[in-house]
A and B are shown apart, each in its own frame.
Chain A
């Protein structure tokens, strides 16, 4: 890394702390507002402190959330998002490798084709996919949700991997080939371990994106136990904002935990630079 003198480092820290405060202030407001009652929130503003830090309100709201079946489909949603993120990212990893270090022809065409998945407005998928799912019996099924989310994860992830692999010297592959490795072994033994950082970022991003998606879950399913957790969250409405905030914190937990699990991978360097 670029070496930094103590003085500049302090300076940088100060700048970041200032920005950081701006960034977490809204979160703090959210936390404060957890202690307000519905009435108190409606009458005041977001940044007024609560009258008292009464844990009772939080526990009432929490019990309410359970009663409102917010957590009913937590498991299902977790299943969709983890399967989709892992499968989608893996498929994208293959594609990213295929588009850079193999002998596929018209790589740019194939790239644009897969990449095009990100450019269409999401709303255009609703009607055709609904029709297809209905006909194929995938409507209102867990398989349907997993398939769709998997597809949704591919284009962006492929883009990131393709870029990453483009930066990896072809000589490494050639060297591996000379050692007798076929292209699959090159991918799994050499490329895959190198791609830890983009892998971690893309997994995190795609998991979060699927987890937070509302429209598709609402459209392609109808049963309460199959609908993703976002659908239940949106049903809470904003009539009782403190309760909604509490719900959001619980619902955001998986993404936050995932961030912590992956936090070291996100910044890990290439294996081969060390060699």
Chain B
């Protein structure tokens, strides 16, 4: 009797397990769930086929994003209205504030018709994953006909291109350069440096007056590469590109030379301890430090929210006067899901997204800009865009984080650079550690 009861119970438990297993796409039934997703995408493709390439416009689209926290509702409404009016499609923003939530929601729905029409994503490997899986729309035509003509620089598409197709449109193109406290510079009679020597002199003067010249950003454990990329590019822009492309070893003597210079500047007291972004702004606004390498939207934040001092911006001057200065940029992509029921309307929205009016609203709401047709109100941000489009005097390069050819090497490098900035390791130690990882990933013989 007892035994029978137990067996029955076990059976119930097992049934429950299997029911939940099915429902949850658990271990046993996972293959099934995948094939289901594939069925869905096939259905979508069939529908397309019947309409011979014409994409249905459902008149509405959801725009999933992880970028619109800290935005006032009234501003959001304004942006949604502007995008909706321009495209005739009802745009609804759905915002995520947690990476895990955003990823889960997008990745697990992307094979289904309920995938978001538009969504922001991360460039580099993450975008490549989407492109390889064939779940995002090829936007090459949209770029040619609607994005570039609206003043979005053409040379930023490389980072969004895989196998010759452009898989994303820009949500924001972010430039960065050195933003300095003008009042401090005036106080000590300093000018924006034109040569690297002048740059060092400026720093030395500030140190002599008890001010830390350069702020180091430790925020998110991510920014260790900021001054590294600036210095490498100031020495030799090509070296930066080669290093990113793994054409040059991290222990290459030219890299060592730059690092030794960096170390020398550290020893002279040019750099602050690594601080969080808010603390850095506070320090620059109060005149404790004089300069930071920062992105345009951070410059706007510094100017608007930290007491309204005067700030100017310049790009780190090159060591050899005949090379161009280097401006770095990063790009946040917007993708269109191939399987989304709203794909057609999503593309309609993208076509008008870069129009001057919409971009102006977008700039007002988010401080970001993509198009050179729209000028930022902020002088620093405006100047950064001017650097970026001035290809006679400036190189425009993708920042190290997305540019580095291999993420595993990159992640080690960023950690090691921060370690150096904290003074916890020497130049050779960190370069050897990075190189060891590179040798492990790429094989010893690379870049010879």
A and B touch in the complex (CB under 8 A): yes
Q: List residues of chain A with CB under 8 Å of any chain B CB.
A: 38-39, 42-43, 64, 67-69, 105, 123, 126-132, 134-136, 214-215, 218-219, 222, 231, 234-240
Chain A residues, CB < 8 A from B6: 105
Looking at the assembled complex, report how far the CB atom of A156 sits from the nearest CB atom of chain B, in whole angstroms.
21
Do the beta carbons of B105 and A222 come within 8 Å of each other? yes
Query: Nearest Cβ distance between residue A32 and chain B, in whole angstroms?
Result: 18
Which residues, 18 to 65 on B, are CB-close (under 8 Å) to A?
20, 23-26, 33, 62, 64
**Residue pair B100, A128 in contact (C-beta under 8 Å):** no
When the two chains form their complex, are residues A222 and B94 in contact, meaning their CB atoms are under 8 A apart?
Answer: yes
Q: Which residues of B contact A43 (CB under 8 A)?
A: 282, 285-286, 306-307
Note all chain B residues with C-beta closer than 8 A to A128: 24-26
Q: What's the Cα separation between A42 and B298 when bound, in Å? A: 14
Write out the residue numbers on chain A whose beta carbons fall within 8 Å of the beta carbon of B253.
none
Contact of B100 among A69, A129, A132, A215 (CB under 8 A): A215
Interface residue B112 (Cβ < 8 Å from any Cβ of A): yes
Q: Is there contact, CB below 8 Å, between A134 and B108?
A: yes
Task: Return the contact of B108 from the options A38, A42, A130 (Cβ within 8 A).
Answer: A130
Residue of B nearest to A129 (CB): B24
Chain B: CB-nearest residue to A244: B70
- Total interface residues in chain B, CB < 8 Å: 39
| Given A42-B282, A222-B94, A234-B69, A123 contacting B33 (CB threshold 8 A) | no
CA distance A234 to B99 in the complex (A): 13
Known: A127-B108, A240-B70. 5 other contacts (CB 8 A): A42-B278, A67-B72, A128-B24, A218-B97, A239-B305
Q: Tell me the dominant secondary structure on chain A's binding face.
A: helix
Do the beta carbons of B69 and A127 come within 8 Å of each other? no
Please measure, in the bound complex, the distance between the C-alpha atom of A130 and the C-alpha atom of B111, giving whole angstroms. 14
B281: interface (CB < 8 Å): yes
What is B's interface to A at a CB cutoff of 8 Å? 2, 6, 20, 23-26, 33, 62, 64, 68-74, 94-98, 100-101, 104-105, 108-109, 112, 114, 278, 281-282, 285-286, 305-308
Alpha-carbon gap, A235 to B282, bound state (A): 24
Residues on B with C-beta less than 8 A from A126 are 100-101, 104
Contact A131 B98 (CB under 8 A): no
- Select one of A68, A215, A222 contacting B72, CB under 8 A: A68
Within the complex, the shortest CB–CB distance from A51 to chain B, in Å, comes to: 13
Which chain A residues lie closer than 8 Å to B278 at the CB level?
A: 42
Give the residue name and chain of the A residue nearest to B30 (CB). A131
CB <8 Å contact, A219 and B307: no
Is A39 within 8 A of B305, CB to CB?
A: yes
> Is there an interface contact between B24 and A219, defined as CB atoms closer than 8 Å?
no
The interface residues of chain A lying within 8 Å CB-to-CB of B20 are: 132
Cβ of A120 to closest chain B Cβ, rounded Å? 13
Which residue of A39, A105, A131, A215 contacts B307 across the interface (Cβ within 8 Å)? A39
CB-based contact B98/A67 at 8 Å: no
Q: In the complex, A239→B114 CA distance in Å?
A: 32
Query: Is the CB–CB distance between B108 and A235 below 8 Å?
Result: no
Question: Could you say which of B74, B109, B307 contacts A67, with CB atoms under 8 Å apart?
Answer: B74
Query: Which residues on B sit within 8 Å (CB–CB) of A136?
Result: 23
How far apart are A168's CB and chain B's nearest CB, in angstroms?
26
